[in-house]
Amino acid sequence: MKLLEMNHVRKNFDGLEVLKDISFSIERGEVVSVIGPSGSGKSTLLRCATMLEKMDGGELYYMGEAAAWEKDGKCVYASKKELKKLHKYFGLVFQNFNLFPHYNVMKNITDSLIRVDKVARKEAVSRAVRLLEQLGLEDKQSAYPCQLSGGQQQRVSIARALARQPQLLFFDEPTSALDPELTMEVLKVIRQLAKEHMTMIIVTHEMQFAREVSDRIIFMEDGVIKGEGTPDEFFATDNGRIRDFIGKLSGAGA
């Protein structure tokens, strides 16, 4: 079953076409990495999928339910109530974590569960405790984000996203704000999620990581999908531009 489907997505910023007719979908249990140079539109694609940006054209479906579609050449979104429901299907992990600095770790994870999703406090806390244990943060429940390392903050933000039990998890360059050592601890968590067949879409620059965890890799450039395939196909591609990009990044990483 297609968890997410995007068809003919277009997005402009002040007349600049950032996404040009992008179509894309993901099946349950799939891990898809989106790679590409800066400004290629990969983050914008993710922000359109998570409805942080409004698309200028195209369709967006979650679990077959329409979030947005085209009518008379314009993009229309579903009702607030409908969108609220669709919002429960996915979670998003930001590059800069975006934890709430005035809440401790426990409250960062449980507050939206209790306040928004109306989960009983006891259940919310037990979910959080379980996740924090899994992520090796069991002793950080009452710490505030400012007392944590970047890697720990990112793991808390992954816990916050997972606590809502989404069908699909988006990662927007989850390790770009971290040094190599902290990057490792976050990638380890994502790797574990991949093993558990969590459906994930990961925008990343970590080539080796993408190769290792993904079922499919998408290469974006200039607002279009230039290539797509399994990691093996991808790393053996004869598409010069993709080879070039992989080569550059691998070189830069060495």
Contact residues toward another protein (CB under 8 A) are: 50-52, 84, 87-88, 91-92, 94, 96, 98-102, 111-112, 115-117, 144-146, 160, 164
- Taking the least distance from each CB to another protein, the nearer of 25 and 142 is 142
Q: Which residue number, 163 or 246, has a Cβ lying nearer to another protein?
A: 163
End-to-end CA distance of the chain: 39
- Judged by beta carbon, residue 42 or residue 160, the one nearer another protein is 160
Shortest reach from residue 50's CB to another protein, in Å: 6
Q: Cβ closer to another protein: 119 or 242?
A: 119
Query: With 0-12 CB in 10 A as exposed, 13-18 as middle and 19+ as buried, what is 188?
Result: middle
Q: How far is the CB of 146 from another protein (least distance, A)?
A: 4
From 16, 19, 49, 54, select the one nearest 36 (Cα to Cα): 19
- The helix (run of H) or strand (run of E) holding residue 219 is strand 216-221
Which is closer to another protein, CB of 112 or CB of 237? Answer: 112
Least distance to another protein, CB of residue 145, Å: 7
Instruction: Report in angstroms how near the CB of residue 162 gets to another protein at its nearest.
Output: 12
Nearest 10 degrees: CA dihedral of 253, 156, 25, 227?
A: -10
For residue 234, which of 171, 29, 226 has the smallest C-alpha distance?
Answer: 226
Q: How far is the CB of 111 from another protein (least distance, A)?
A: 7
Tokens 């200039």, residue?
222
